[in-house]
Amino acid sequence: MRTFWLASYPKSGNTWMRILLANLAVAGDDGADINRLSGGFASARAPFDRMTLIDSGLLTHEEIDALRPGANAALAESGDGDDDVPELAEGPVRFVKAHDAYQYGPDGAPILGGRAGADGVLVIVRDPRDIASSFAHHSRYGIDRTIAFMNNAGACLCGHTDRGYLQLRQRLTRWSEHVASWLNQRDLPMHLVRYEDLRSMPAATLRAALDFAGWPATDAAIHRAIALSAFERVAAQEHSNGFREAPHRQAFFRRGEAGAWRDELTAAQVARIEHDHGAMMQRLGYPLAGATHLSEAG
């Protein structure tokens, strides 16, 4: 089975894409269980430990990074998934969620394994102004702290050394640099998916992503998956059964809108984001509200 990364900065629509793909693969009228999404996580600790035969809790982040290229290559070859996720039936392609920026280890090897780790990547992006408010809710950082985090070159997930995590460290860097790392890499074939396009024209956007990955699907199957993945259905499922990926026992599926930043951010907060990331925003087709001094997109 071919493996593709679903790569994104957090809160960019990765989970919704996984739900769409799950609803393409699963039979029945009820749709996919959001607590049993197939494919797993690039940062999952259990598969890494299984492939390396090492308890990753005994290793430093740097030692883990040195072993991840080989572990990801072995996982891709085996088609192995995340033991923590009781998987549904998969489609003809294995999609694995990744929040890591595309980076290289000290020996020059891509940490995610390059062509040995995956056959390609769907890069999912979202307007960073919407990410800021959504990520602030998700992390409980507050919007101003989240905006600072999104502009921190050292930003990472699961990066503290004084505690254990279920996932491996994921180095994010700045939002602009994270996106640029995936768009500019030449190791893997890449297809760009904008969250806003997935919302406004879901059938065409999903069709283009599936064609890129080599997943044949009928128009009827695509429209069925979209209907089963509607925000209201997913949010209702979370309300009834919870969502294992939700943080702090709060709702994961909050608004799901494009452009919600207009009533959630202050003018000063919008200006900070556009100052920090305006060049990349323009590269991706996100109009600026008024910032004029732009940083380098990468």
pLDDT in tens, 24-46: 988 777 777 767 777 788 999 99
Q: What is the pTM of this model?
A: 0.89
The SS3 call for residue 97 is: strand
Percent of the chain having pLDDT more than 70? Answer: 86
Least confident of 87-91, 126-130, 153-157: 87-91
pLDDT digits (tens, 9 = 90+) for 175-196: 999 999 999 999 999 999 999 9
> 66 — phi, psi (to 5°)?
-70, -25
List all residues 6 or more positions away from 213 whose beta carbon is below 8 Å from its beta carbon.
Answer: 2, 4, 93, 95, 120, 122, 191
Confidence of residue 291 (pLDDT cuts 50, 70, 90): very low
d(CA 41, CA 98): 6
* Torsion region of 114: left, alpha or beta (phi above 0 gives left; psi -120 to 50 gives alpha): left
The 10 Å Cβ neighbour count of residue 165 is: 15
d(CA 292, CA 103): 30
Which candidate, 99, 102, 143, places its Cα nearest to that of 11? 99
Burial category of 249 from C-beta neighbours within 10 Å (exposed 0-12, middle 13-18, buried 19 and up): exposed
Would you list the domain boundaries of the chain? Answer: 2-127+155-253
Report domain 2-127+155-253's class.
alpha beta
The answer to whether 186 and 62 have CB atoms below 8 angstroms apart is: no
Burial category of 170 from C-beta neighbours within 10 Å (exposed 0-12, middle 13-18, buried 19 and up): buried
The SS3 call for residue 198 is: helix
Q: What proportions of the chain, in percent to the nearest 5, are helix, strand and coil?
A: 45, 10, 45
List all residues 6 or more positions away from 286 whose beta carbon is below 8 Å from its beta carbon.
Answer: 127, 128, 129
Position with higher pLDDT, 239 vs 144: 144
Confidence of residue 245 (pLDDT cuts 50, 70, 90): low
The C-alpha angle with vertex 281 and arms to 21 and 151, in degrees rounded to 5, equals: 95
Tokens of 212: 């890129």
Confidence of residue 239 (pLDDT cuts 50, 70, 90): low
